Chains A and B, each alone.
Chain A
């Protein structure tokens, strides 16, 4: 032995099992930290890429740039890339559809948000690339290389002309299709779309002197973008609307990172890493704490021969350091393998979900950070025990018995425990509580596992509920009825219902109506709100005072009404009766503005009468309340919750005098050709002004749920494994510390079976106690989540019994399994050896 430090290595080897346990703990936590980091960075990067893809990968574009100025821009050292374009013509294939034909150079095409699905960007004269859907609408169904002849209206000066001027410039032009552009949802749904040609072609079509360019610039990394935009604007002599910033991309370059998604990811990640760190600290601390306790006698001897406390601390910390050197690289490796494996598999499973396009980025930054975090955690957790070891007095070596009864034992009676589990139960329970600190640490990591499990399951549940109302299945087209334009006609309904592959169409009629409540009907919370806001929500009708405010009147068919059934807390849905007496269901809560939470508006009861005033009328009409809705089963297109009045179609038509629809929710057959249905819905949506098409297919994709679940529950699983490590550790330690006790128990006649039972119960009790504390924490967290989400949308709080029970059973099982390893040793115990054991 060269130095006392050699002791470190000997101790580690001497306690092989414990060292392995600590090592597993370190590896798991570093793996978790590392994979959380990799995931976070990859997701962030994906977000950035998405933004660049959908907004174009440039910082600014200037309009009205002279040809002579182009060189100036190109030569600027701050500019990474420059591309130019010229709007050349407009192509209108059908009513409500239009595509802008732009001349642009290759650089621009590449940095824009336009993406080729096949072929190439135009390079030769008269070549053209168009969005897929435009081509689909053409009768000839052209392929790449085909000639297409279209009628276009030529624009001249930066699209400044009126419709009338344009119609005088109709020409028919023949192009060669060089490439097909991917459909871009915003251009498609917005009615505007793109086709591109070369700059040369554009100039030729326009045939106009002194054509001006629009030039988009991407700056080099680290160039202060905002400042440079101004500088270049000055050089070009541009001001105001000639300067078009790409604010989404500018935000990305970090100067003003306002992306809420990024922040959310960051917060989630921080919380995860924090949880992981805390659990790691618990395990490593426990391992070292215990290994020090076991060696108090030895440290006493070391001290008595002249080892300083500092040297002893170094011995212990040295052990931690050696373990880290082995554990950190292994942990990093496991983390990388885990992310690559899990996310890689997800990416293969389907391209359309969260991880579909995820490119995994493993940066040195994340790896180094994980190593540092891991190292700091391990050393910090070992520090306390190291200090404790240093404090051991040399006397402990001489006072043989010093070690055993460090534990403070207090006695209580447990008649119930005795009844259920017998003497073994009592002993198991008392054993748990011998050392408060160790008990706490052991239970703690399990608590975290359970709390996370409960929280995550509530989270998943609310995610699925939040996604939409009862009707939202695959697609919907809707239209705010506030607009003056008409809604969808019965003919539109026939058309939607007739699309091949459509299984069910839920149709909604909705009109904003003025709702009148008497003073008695208005809820106190609403009155206070009105008073507090000073809002003028009072009106006089037919000599009476009312609270009046905007509500939504829905008209539904019987089948749709039945879907509201679960939400009705009082009253009932009887369509015939509702038809006869203007019966309505009411949802009595509303949110009036951004600054206030939802308020309860009224205290209506079944049988009450309320008045409403429909569009274009001034006489109130009486409606009879036949049911109270507790939440909103309806899909709506309003930002805020409003007071809702739901009735039958017949009543709706009668009181509004209209026969229109505000929304169709479409459920598809299993076998439906989604894309085909979507295209037909699009054509209806385009025909009706102001209406939009909603696609729930991706949102409600179960894949998404499964993948998130795998990640969240994976985390829970690993944390539970760490918790189990802690229990294994504590119980095996107890075994070693209590060898003599176990021996005595056997000597006085405890059978191996009884001893097994006692130790197993100890493990199970850990699980039960962890469930109690972890359950409280998890339910608390879930409750917080609920109150947060409840501000956005009404939820019914349901106590998470299911996850509590599953979590509890899981914890008990883990506790039980954790005793398996120590039990093996106990069953091999030699009674004589044990009762003679020297301290």
Chain B
């Protein structure tokens, strides 16, 4: 079943000489439960695409359809709420909120919704992420790997249908990186979520169901590695 589809998704920055076509007429379709790796050289437009897919940015033209809805036809508020509930983001630089504890950072999307927290699920998640003993810690009291695990927890807290990760292991050593990746895959599988990961790590890419390769803003390859 298809969860995400783009139609001629295009993003250009600047005008005239400074004009950069970061993404050109991207048409992709991602199925429920798929693990997609996005690869490509630096500056090729990977992050640009990911941000557009997750509703963080606005495309120059084209549309993104998630669960049958064109997310850029929504108002800013609606899109915020959509992001909160339907998608999760994991960034390279963790981007945790320094004044909130690990557990609060994880539950932030729920807190923003004033939603009753599914304690069992969160406990489960925290256990899965190996953060049991670190719940009350503030981000600056956590290691890089732990911080990234917190941000994964945050991405998963609302049980979103899609998780986007932009070089989630880029800032970690290989051991930590593997652990984090493993965790992401495990949890996604467990809750039947879709995972889109940008990575330079071929090792990670090779574990994916599908690899999308971008060069100069264009999708040059899109193939299923596994069925």
- Is B a genuine binding partner of A? yes
- Residues of A whose CB lies within 8 Å of any CB of B are 404-405, 407, 409, 411, 422-423, 427, 430-431, 434, 740-741, 743-754, 831-832, 835-836
- Residues of B whose CB lies within 8 Å of any CB of A are 47, 51, 54, 56-57, 76-77, 80-85, 88-89, 91, 93, 95-101, 108-109, 111-114, 136, 138, 140, 154, 158
Instruction: Evaluate contact between A744 and B95: CB separation under 8 angstroms.
Output: yes
Which chain A residue lies CB-closest to B82?
Answer: A749
Which chain B residue lies CB-closest to A755?
Answer: B80
Instruction: Evaluate contact between A423 and B99: CB separation under 8 angstroms.
Output: no
**Bound-state Cα–Cα, A218 to B85, Å:** 91
**Bound-state Cα–Cα, A743 to B94, Å:** 12
Given the known interface contacts A752-B80, A832-B51, the answer about A411 and B89 at a Cβ–Cβ threshold of 8 Å is: no
Given the known interface contacts A751-B81, A832-B56, the answer about A409 and B140 at a Cβ–Cβ threshold of 8 Å is: yes
Q: How far is the CB of B143 from the nearest CB of chain A, in Å?
A: 13
Given the known interface contacts A748-B108, A751-B77, A836-B47, the answer about A741 and B84 at a Cβ–Cβ threshold of 8 Å is: no
Q: How far is the CB of A478 from the nearest CB of chain B, in Å?
A: 69
Chain A residues with CB under 8 Å of B81's CB are 749, 751
Instruction: Evaluate contact between A831 and B99: CB separation under 8 angstroms.
Output: no
**Bound-state Cα–Cα, A750 to B138, Å:** 20
Q: How far is the CB of A477 from the nearest CB of chain B, in Å?
A: 71
Instruction: Evaluate contact between A407 and B98: CB separation under 8 angstroms.
Output: yes
Given the known interface contacts A411-B101, A423-B111, A749-B80, the answer about A405 and B95 at a Cβ–Cβ threshold of 8 Å is: no
Instruction: Evaluate contact between A427 and B99: CB separation under 8 angstroms.
Output: yes
Instruction: Evaluate contact between A752 and B76: CB separation under 8 angstroms.
Output: yes
Would you mind naming 17 contact pairs between A and B with Cβ atoms under 8 Å apart?
Answer: A411-B136, A423-B112, A427-B97, A430-B100, A431-B99, A743-B95, A745-B108, A747-B95, A748-B83, A748-B108, A748-B154, A749-B109, A750-B84, A751-B77, A753-B77, A831-B56, A835-B89
Chain A residues with CB under 8 Å of B113's CB are 749
Instruction: Evaluate contact between B84 and A748: CB separation under 8 angstroms.
Output: yes
**Bound-state Cα–Cα, A411 to B54, Å:** 32
Given the known interface contacts A748-B112, A754-B112, the answer about A832 and B95 at a Cβ–Cβ threshold of 8 Å is: no
Chain A residues with CB under 8 Å of B57's CB are 831-832
Q: Of B56, B97, B111, which one neighbours A835 at CB under 8 angstroms? A: B56
Given the known interface contacts A411-B136, A752-B76, A832-B57, the answer about A747 and B89 at a Cβ–Cβ threshold of 8 Å is: yes
Chain A residues with CB under 8 Å of B101's CB are 411
Given the known interface contacts A748-B84, A748-B112, the answer about A740 and B95 at a Cβ–Cβ threshold of 8 Å is: yes
**Bound-state Cα–Cα, A749 to B115, Å:** 13
**Bound-state Cα–Cα, A745 to B100, Å:** 12
Chain A residues with CB under 8 Å of B80's CB are 746, 749-752
Instruction: Evaluate contact between B99 and A749: CB separation under 8 angstroms.
Output: no
Chain A residues with CB under 8 Å of B54's CB are 747
Given the known interface contacts A409-B99, A411-B136, A835-B95, the answer about A748 and B47 at a Cβ–Cβ threshold of 8 Å is: no
Chain B residues with CB under 8 Å of A836's CB are 47
Instruction: Evaluate contact between B56 and A748: CB separation under 8 angstroms.
Output: no
**Bound-state Cα–Cα, A423 to B76, Å:** 20
Instruction: Evaluate contact between B95 and A749: CB separation under 8 angstroms.
Output: no
**Bound-state Cα–Cα, A8 to B218, Å:** 45
Q: How far is the CB of A173 from the nearest CB of chain B, in Å?
A: 95
**Bound-state Cα–Cα, A422 to B115, Å:** 11
**Bound-state Cα–Cα, A750 to B76, Å:** 10
Which chain A residue lies CB-closest to B101?
Answer: A411
Instruction: Evaluate contact between A749 and B138: CB separation under 8 angstroms.
Output: no
Chain B residues with CB under 8 Å of A747's CB are 54, 56, 83, 89, 91, 95
Chain A residues with CB under 8 Å of B98's CB are 404-405, 407, 409, 434, 741
Chain B residues with CB under 8 Å of A752's CB are 76-77, 80
Chain B residues with CB under 8 Å of A753's CB are 77
Q: Of A430, A748, A750, A751, which one neighbours B99 at CB under 8 angstroms? A: A430
Instruction: Evaluate contact between A835 and B91: CB separation under 8 angstroms.
Output: yes
Instruction: Evaluate contact between A748 and B51: CB separation under 8 angstroms.
Output: no
Which chain B residue lies CB-closest to A751?
Answer: B80
**Bound-state Cα–Cα, A740 to B92, Å:** 13
Q: How far is the CB of A759 from the nearest CB of chain B, in Å?
A: 14
**Bound-state Cα–Cα, A812 to B111, Å:** 26
Which chain B residue lies CB-closest to A839?
Answer: B93
3 smallest CB-CB distances across A and B, nearest first, come from A749-B84, A430-B99, A744-B95
Which chain B residue lies CB-closest to A407?
Answer: B98
**Bound-state Cα–Cα, A60 to B98, Å:** 78
Chain A residues with CB under 8 Å of B85's CB are 749
Chain B residues with CB under 8 Å of A748's CB are 83-84, 88-89, 108-109, 112, 154
**Bound-state Cα–Cα, A743 to B140, Å:** 19
**Bound-state Cα–Cα, A405 to B99, Å:** 10
Chain B residues with CB under 8 Å of A749's CB are 80-85, 109, 112-113, 158
Instruction: Evaluate contact between B100 and A422: CB separation under 8 angstroms.
Output: no
Q: A748-B88, A749-B85 are in contact. List 5 more A-B contacts (CB 8 A).
A: A407-B98, A409-B138, A411-B101, A434-B99, A744-B97
**Bound-state Cα–Cα, A413 to B197, Å:** 36
**Bound-state Cα–Cα, A751 to B109, Å:** 11
**Bound-state Cα–Cα, A740 to B98, Å:** 11
**Bound-state Cα–Cα, A560 to B7, Å:** 92
Chain A residues with CB under 8 Å of B100's CB are 427, 430
Q: How far is the CB of A412 from the nearest CB of chain B, in Å?
A: 11
**Bound-state Cα–Cα, A746 to B154, Å:** 13
Chain B residues with CB under 8 Å of A750's CB are 80, 84, 112
Q: How far is the CB of B101 from the nearest CB of chain A, in Å?
A: 6
Instruction: Evaluate contact between B99 and A745: CB separation under 8 angstroms.
Output: no
**Bound-state Cα–Cα, A26 to B27, Å:** 58
Chain A residues with CB under 8 Å of B89's CB are 747-748, 835
**Bound-state Cα–Cα, A750 to B95, Å:** 14
Chain A residues with CB under 8 Å of B96's CB are 744
Q: How far is the CB of A683 from the nearest CB of chain B, in Å?
A: 80
Q: How far is the CB of A213 from the nearest CB of chain B, in Å?
A: 88
Chain A residues with CB under 8 Å of B111's CB are 422-423
Q: How far is the CB of B82 from the nearest CB of chain A, in Å?
A: 8
B98, B101, B113 — which one has the most chain A CB atoms within 10 A of its CB?
B98
Q: How far is the CB of A689 from the nearest CB of chain B, in Å?
A: 81
Q: How far is the CB of A203 from the nearest CB of chain B, in Å?
A: 95
Q: Of A431, A741, A754, which one neighbours B95 at CB under 8 angstroms? A: A741
A404, A411, A430 — which one has the most chain B CB atoms within 10 A of its CB?
A411
Which chain B residue lies CB-closest to A749?
Answer: B84
Which chain A residue lies CB-closest to B88?
Answer: A748
Chain B residues with CB under 8 Å of A423's CB are 108, 111-112, 114
